[in-house]
Amino acid sequence: AQRCQLPVVLPEYRLAPEARWPSARDDACRAWQALVDAGTDPAHIVVAGDSAGAGLALAVAQHAVASKGRTPAALLCFSPWVDLSLGGATLTSLASTDPMLSPQWLAWAARTYLGGHPADAPTASPLFGDMRGLPPTLVQVAGREVLLDDAIRLAEAIRAAGGKASLQIEPHLWHVWQMFAGVLPAADAALSRAAD
């Protein structure tokens, strides 16, 4: 908000295990619709999120396109978790280098959220959803995190569908390092790039 000099809306959404799929997705899509219904021009909205929230941001953008409404101006995904089936190669290859996330914890979180729903369904794992018509997208990810492959596959899928996706990899950092803004210069730089 400070870097862009724009208002920020931080919607609350229901969380697992009390609320399972599709509660969080439905709540995020309702927040989008509420902004549009209140008169906010979608061309002035950037949808953003980190980790599982980046997956929700992608799901909101896909929902906006599918509902034939106007799409957001842009999509911003920090360290996105977009494949709850845990199909990314770096989930195992980087397990020993990721100080934040473990494959075991992600598997538990996915099971807890999905409650038996198929993990590879596009409404659960937006990586498998329709990427056509998405707005310009910025994906930032760390080179040491198990979700690196999710970010790479997301950028590739958007490009393959004819969209514009910029992938920025910070090779030596960890999952959602941007949260250390004000303390870590690399976090400040990442947020400045996102604002630009």
Just list the catalytic residues: 51, 145, 175
Cα of 33 vs its chain's centroid, Å: 18
Sheet holding 74-78, edge to edge: 46-50, 74-78, 137-142, 165-170
Q: Residues 6 or more apart from 35 whose CB is under 8 A from it? A: 9, 45
As a whole number of angstroms, the distance between CA 157 and CA 143 comes to 19
SS3 assignment, position 11: coil
As a whole number of angstroms, the distance between CA 165 and CA 109 comes to 27
As a whole number of angstroms, the distance between CA 114 and CA 109 comes to 8
- Look-up of token digits 């498998």: 128
